[in-house]
């Protein structure tokens, strides 16, 4: 289907003015320019079945002049939001971030506004939901929208986007749709083979290539979770993959989440809401599985109707044949989705031939046919040394090897599991702010500390060693899936006493979620939500007390930090407890939420806590935390949003370089 897009005529603003979504006036030459647009549309000879326009007057006026006063107005067709820079002369903008935007306007957002990737995401959403069943469509919009449309349609590469900017009154033509790709499942020969990261890479690659991808994992097991815009809970990996795909995360991307509470039990989260704790035996027995299967299948169906393609992720190994009857996430899910399966094998752990061959051989004949390719992941050394290995693997498995992906050390993607935390433990470094994250047994949402970890001014390490804690400038108490149990362990192993002594010696102590609860006077669990311990004394650092409750709070939040007036910071809450002031005390809140509520507590400049995950992703909070150690701050502040975008693109470049993308596209479009 053809879509014609017309840019509005010249606007009456001073040269060099930054404008985007401001409703600016048109020049006196409007009629002459509009007449030329009208003639160009007539010359196409097209009878447009659907006409759309940006709601801004410079587009609606042109649509009306060309004979379409009833054109459907769509917010997604607005120009880029320039935020705080709107209607300022570029040369007069003093915001230091403008140079970052000049350097990478594609991914760096204007202050309070959008990046080009944001514009591309909403324009992609417009086209994905455009009715393509009859006739050509006509769109009146802005330069940025016309450029995004050409990127979406594959006419120009993302990095060359602005070279395709048409003049005022100019018109571009794009052909839709791109091929509808089959769903793709990344299945594994085992756990931790790199499925999640490869899924994020493919989400970004498909986005770069003009598609509108989304991630999906039917069932995930992880302590780290994330709150969707609707205030529901999904696995952190799918939130990261959605970010790489440039789309909002949704519970349909991870309809079933298991959050371990012990070695034998886990909290079951269905469609973003907890439905209770289950033992492994209870969960994996046959009874009730079909109901869960229907839920995850329906979630996939909804996702597949909205996105192209769906990048699916399996769980663990596909060769656990003892679990096949109750499997919801691997080959049975691929069968429901009619997905092409790519097997991911980890060569770094050894035995790659046996694991790949065995994984294929243990499948039924039907499922073996569904496995269309193999990716050998985490290769170390000279790739030429494995060229013969590729041929051998293809011969023994009868399946093409799509690529051998080298191990990398310079790309940082948020992890979901804490399996590598022990490897991150480092000692004190002179000349930097030393930040110790207390290594809890049930630590959750360690992604709260990613921004600090990559800040050049900071040396962040995870530890439960009392000597290392005593040497830290800042001690961070993280979230916990079992707060009382972890607090008991801190008292037993001497870490609690070390934290209190470090605090007396002048260290900063800050707690997040479960860590915030631990910092109070006491934690009560009268209903046994976490276990058999009904009450535990806290660390006594804050004048608070917490009651653990069965109802989980899950929501995304915007907030003003300390004395700030505007709620410019963001984060999310996931907790099962209410914290309040102890009798006779008054709390000084750390933040004020957009809805007027308050959160957290500040005892003094170096002692505070909050329920908000992601609070340390906000530069304003980071600068407040580090300010007492100004003598060590000789590096520039980290723009974490831009940093993450850079990492997604580096990951995509790395994987694209070593993956046979033409063959993958062939697999995803050909009919069996």
Catalytic site residues?
Answer: 513, 613
DSSP state letter for 212: B
To which residue do tokens 């009456």 refer? 12
How is the chain split among helix, strand and coil, in percent rounded to 5? Answer: 40, 25, 35
Q: What six digits make up the tokens of 564? A: 């700030």
- Contacts of 420 by beta carbon, 8 Å cutoff, 6+ apart: none
| Contact between residue 145 and residue 123 where contact means Cβ atoms under 8 Å apart | yes
- Identify the CA nearest to 415 among candidates 384, 362, 377, 453: 453
User: Strands, DSSP E only, in 562-610?
Assistant: 569-581, 591-593, 598-599, 601-604, 607-610
DSSP state of 116: H
Edge-first strand order for the sheet with 137-141 is 72-73, 50-53, 137-141, 2-7, 171-175
∠ CA 587-589-593, rounded to 5°: 140
Q: Which two tokens stand for residue 383?
A: 């790739």
Token duo for residue 221: 């097991």
Tell me the torsion sign for CA atoms 241, 243, 244, 246. Answer: positive
Distances (CA, A) of 73 to 76, 78, 145, 391: 9, 10, 14, 56
Residues 120, 434: Cα–Cα separation, whole Å: 40
**Cβ–Cβ < 8 Å for 19, 11:** yes
Residues in the chain: 672
Q: Which long-range contacts (CB under 8 A, 24 or more apart) does 643-648 make?
A: 643/412, 643/451, 643/454, 644/243, 644/414, 645/107, 645/108, 645/115, 645/117, 646/104, 646/107, 647/411, 647/412, 647/413, 648/200, 648/204, 648/243, 648/244, 648/413
Q: Which of 485, 507, 510 is nearest to 498 (CA)?
A: 507
As given in the structure block, the two tokens for residue 614 are: 């992601």
Radius of gyration of the chain (CA): 27
Burial pattern 245-268, b for ≥16 Cβ within 10 A else e, equals: bbbebbbbbbbbbbbbbeeebbbb
With the C-alpha atoms ordered 236, 427, 475, 538, is the resulting torsion angle positive or negative? positive
User: What DSSP character marks residue 35?
Assistant: H
**Angle of helix 495-504 versus helix 483-492 axis, rounded to 10:** 80
Residue 613, SS3?
A: strand
Q: Is the bond into 401 cis (omega within 30 degrees of 0)?
A: no
Task: Evaluate whether 24 touches 12 at the Cβ level (below 8 Å).
Answer: yes
671 in helix, strand or coil? coil
User: What is the helix (H) or strand (E) element at residue 436, kind and residue range?
Assistant: strand 433-438
The answer to whether 62 and 41 have CB atoms below 8 angstroms apart is: no
């Amino acid at each position: 289907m053809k879509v014609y897009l017309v840019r509005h005529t010249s606007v009456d603003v001073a040269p060099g003015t930054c404008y985007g979504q401001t409703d600016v006036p048109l020049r006196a030459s409007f009629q002459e320019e509009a007449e030329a647009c009208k003639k160009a549309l007539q010359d196409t000879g097209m009878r447009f079945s659907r006409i759309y326009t940006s709601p801004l007057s410079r587009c609606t006026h042109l649509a009306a002049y060309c004979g379409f006063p009833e054109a459907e107005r769509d917010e997604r067709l607005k120009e880029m939001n320039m935020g705080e820079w709107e209607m300022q002369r570029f040369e007069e903008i003093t915001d230091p971030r403008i140079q970052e935007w000049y350097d990478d306007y594609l991914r760096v957002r204007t202050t309070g506004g959008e990046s080009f990737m944001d514009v591309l995401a909403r324009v992609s959403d417009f086209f994905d939901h455009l009715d393509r069943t009859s006739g050509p469509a006509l769109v009146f919009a802005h330069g940025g929208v016309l450029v995004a449309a050409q990127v979406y349609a594959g006419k120009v590469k993302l990095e060359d986007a602005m070279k395709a900017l048409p003049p005022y009154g100019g018109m571009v033509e794009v052909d839709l749709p791109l091929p509808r790709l089959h769903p793709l499942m990344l299945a594994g020969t085992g756990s931790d083979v790199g499925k999640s990261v490869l899924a994020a890479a493919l989400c970004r690659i498909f986005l770069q290539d003009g598609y509108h991808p989304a991630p999906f994992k039917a069932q995930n097991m992880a302590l780290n979770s994330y709150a969707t815009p609707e205030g529901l809970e999904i696995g952190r990996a799918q939130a990261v993959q959605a970010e790489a795909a440039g789309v909002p995360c949704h519970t349909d991307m991870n309809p079933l989440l298991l959050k371990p509470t012990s070695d034998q039990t886990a909290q079951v989260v269905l469609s973003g809401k907890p439905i209770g704790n289950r033992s492994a035996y209870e969960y994996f027995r046959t009874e009730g599985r079909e109901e869960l299967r229907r839920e995850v299948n329906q979630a996939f169906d909804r996702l597949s109707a909205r996105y192209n393609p769906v990048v699916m992720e399996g769980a663990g190994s596909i060769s656990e044949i003892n679990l096949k009857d109750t499997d919801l996430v691997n080959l049975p899910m691929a069968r429901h989705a009619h997905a092409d399966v790519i097997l991911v094998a980890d060569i770094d752990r050894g035995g790659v031939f046996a694991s790949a061959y065995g994984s294929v051989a243990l499948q039924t004949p039907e499922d073996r046919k569904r496995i269309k390719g193999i990716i050998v992941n985490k290769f170390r050394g000279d790739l030429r040394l494995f060229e013969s290995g590729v041929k051998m693997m293809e011969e023994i498995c009868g399946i093409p090897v799509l690529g051998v992906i080298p191990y990398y050390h310079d790309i940082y993607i948020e992890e979901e599991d804490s399996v590598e935390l022990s490897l991150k433990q480092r000692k004190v470094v002179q000349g930097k702010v030393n930040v110790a994250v207390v290594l809890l047994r049930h630590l959750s949402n360690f992604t709260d500390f990613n921004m600090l970890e990559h800040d050049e001014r900071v040396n962040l390490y995870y530890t439960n060693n009392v000597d290392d804690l005593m040497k830290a400038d800042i001690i961070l108490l993280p979230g916990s899936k079992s707060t009382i149990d972890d607090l008991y362990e801190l008292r037993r192993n001497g870490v609690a006493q070390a934290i209190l002594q470090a605090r007396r010696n002048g260290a900063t102590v800050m707690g997040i979620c479960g860590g915030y609860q631990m910092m109070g006077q006491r934690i009560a669990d009268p209903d046994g939500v976490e276990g058999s311990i009904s009450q535990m004394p806290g660390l006594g650092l804050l004048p608070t007390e917490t009651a653990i409750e069965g109802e989980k709070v899950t929501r995304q939040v915007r907030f003003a930090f300390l004395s700030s007036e505007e709620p410019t910071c963001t984060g999310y809450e996931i907790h099962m407890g209410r914290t309040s002031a102890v009798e006779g005390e008054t709390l000084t809140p750390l933040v004020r939420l957009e809805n007027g509520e308050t959160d957290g507590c500040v005892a003094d400049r170096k002692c505070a806590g909050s329920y908000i995950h992601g609070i340390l992703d906000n530069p304003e909070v980071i600068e407040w935390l580090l300010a007492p150690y100004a003598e060590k701050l000789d590096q520039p502040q980290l723009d974490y949003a831009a940093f993450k975008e850079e990492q997604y693109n580096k990951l995509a470049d790395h994987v694209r370089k070593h993956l046979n993308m033409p063959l993958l596209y062939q697999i995803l479009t050909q009919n069996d």
